[in-house]
Amino acid sequence: MEIKSAEFVMSNSDVTKCPKDLLPEYAFIGRSNVGKSSLINMITNRKSLAKTSGRPGKTQLINHFLINKTWHLVDLPGYGYARVSKSSKKTFQKFITDYFNQREQMVSAFVLVDIRHKPQPIDLEFMAWMGENDIPFSIIFTKADKLKPQAILNHVADYSAVMMETWEDMPNYFITSSSKEMGKDELLNYIHEVNENME
């Protein structure tokens, strides 16, 4: 799939105010500083569609972007934010869970994980919650350019081993690097295939 158009639609913290049309949605979520904005900009060929920030926890709203006039890319707040008050965190958690529980247009989520780190409890807990609530998702390993090819394979194998302690199968996953545009085609082709199958 080639991205010909990508436009900002709206930001809000109330799921009931999300776009009313029935276009399929793909939601991107991950811990703060996992490289989500850079990944979104990379796959859409835009330098600043999603705002990148050196300060973790910058995305604090549900952001909808219309892609090729046919589907929505949804940029969600991180679930492990640095400089955010506890009351804000609770609000974020609530509208993140509201989004996944109420948004019928949501076809699949992408949970972003920094490939350089061992499996983090917060990521594993979030994916467990997704599984318990029957929410389809894939894992996107980010920042793969920081590792050598064999180290990438080793890290994914280690991650799979931890996942398989509680999961029957390793979830679908992609290996990406925003700076090297690694994984871009695989990710977009996957979304394209899902959209085609839905039609």
pLDDT of res. 147 = 97
pLDDT of res. 94 = 80
**CA distances from residue 159 to 53, 86, 118, 128, 156 in whole angstroms, order as listed:** 27, 30, 7, 14, 5
DSSP state of 71: E
pLDDT of res. 54 = 53
Domain boundaries, the chain: 21-198
pTM: 0.91
pLDDT of res. 92 = 57
What residues contact residue 129 under an 8 Å CB cut-off, 6+ apart? 97
Sequential pLDDT tens for the chain (199 residues): 999 999 999 999 899 999 999 999 999 999 888 999 999 999 999 988 887 655 545 557 899 999 999 999 999 988 765 455 566 556 557 888 899 999 999 999 999 999 999 999 889 989 999 999 999 999 999 999 999 999 999 999 999 999 999 999 999 999 999 999 999 999 999 999 999 998 7
DSSP state of 177: B
pLDDT of res. 91 = 57
Output the CATH code of domain 21-198.
3.40.50.300
pLDDT of res. 82 = 46
